[in-house]
Amino acid sequence: MANFFQTERWWEFQRALGEEVVSGRGEGWHYFGRIVRDALGPYLYLPYGPVVADERTLDAAIADARAQAKRLGCYRLVIEPSLPITPEQAAARGKRMLTGFQPSRTHVVDLTQDEDEIVRGMNATRRKQHRGAAKRGYTFAECDDPADYDLGVELLRLTGETRSFEVRDGSYFEHFRGLVEEGIARVFVAKHEGETKVVGYVIDDEDTRYYLYVGRDLSNNSMQISAPFIVFLMLDAKARGLRTFDFYGISARDDVPDEWTGFTVFKRTFGGHAVQFSGAWEIPVKPGRYAVRRTLDALHELRAKLRSRGATGDGATGDGSAAKE
């Protein structure tokens, strides 16, 4: 499956945002990444990269990226090999699997089906909301008003504050306009009786629509406009000849709740299936500094466990409280 987030145009966008971009290319492989800095110094991170054909080309790409990381003074390399690389194949090259980077799974809907098949794949509630949208006074269209674009950014920010997730700053969305002007990104609006209620930001590559951001008016939570809006985005993508609708990110596992669980349950109501990526894996570049990183992470995990045990009355000190840090 193609991934727009390992294309040159996306990384031109990242450069415009001030990122320090690193890239490499060879026969059967390529990657783009950025330099990230933490308390121990810089490291090289390849979101959903490298893009490779097989394990042999994966090894070539890793060797090149590790050499660049070393030259740039990075103490570790973080990779997220693209399909068709499996988690097991990535694990054979990485030191350990990481969390907190790109989602290791996503949820997709096959748009090559007939429109009726796509709708039948949704649950009963979503089908009902889709079919009743017009009667409720909902209309959906591609955004042609700069004011709606700005309103969507503000709604997204307010949604983030309400639901405690981070939203990119104003500079990001100003540069994102360039992708919209090129027709790579698109912005759509959902209105109720002419008033804008939801604004969605997507990216279209040669065969996939990626559902990235949505700003929603939270003043009337009973208004069931978001779901039929998403159905509209899916069917619009199909009408444009795209083959896949990518909801962009679900929980890493079904049996362990995480911050993506609620989103995962919601996204699955639209039909489709999960796609498993290899996940994020780190590779040491400077062994000494990397060992310090591992030690700090282990201490952090230990403290988290002690706090958890204290909160449940199973404290390490024997008196129902966690040990002092």
Please, what are the averages of pLDDT over each run of 10 residues along the chain (325 residues)?
82 94 97 95 97 96 98 97 95 90 93 97 96 95 94 88 74 91 94 93 95 86 84 98 95 82 91 95 94 87 76 38 29
Q: Are 117 and 250 in contact (CB under 8 A)?
A: no
Q: What is the pLDDT, as a whole number, of residue 258?
A: 77
Query: Nearest CA to 203 among 217, 184, 219, 231?
Result: 184
Tokens 């794949």 appear where?
121
Q: How large is the C-alpha radius of gyration of the chain? A: 22
pTM of the entire predicted model? 0.86
Q: Are 108 and 246 in contact (CB under 8 A)?
A: yes
Q: Cβ atoms within 10 A of the Cβ of 6, count?
A: 21
Please give the single-letter amino acid code of residue 194: G
Q: What is the pLDDT, as a whole number, of residue 314?
A: 39
Q: What is the pLDDT, as a whole number, of residue 12?
A: 94
Long-range contacts of 218-222 (CB under 8 A, 24+ apart): 218/155, 218/158, 218/159, 218/162
Q: What is the pLDDT, as a whole number, of residue 35?
A: 98
Q: What is the pLDDT, as a whole number, of residue 261?
A: 86
Q: Are 229 and 104 in contact (CB under 8 A)?
A: no
Which residue segments constitute the domains of the chain, with CATH numbers given?
Answer: 4-102+278-311 (3.40.630.30), 112-242 (3.40.630.30)
Q: What is the pLDDT, as a whole number, of residue 222?
A: 56
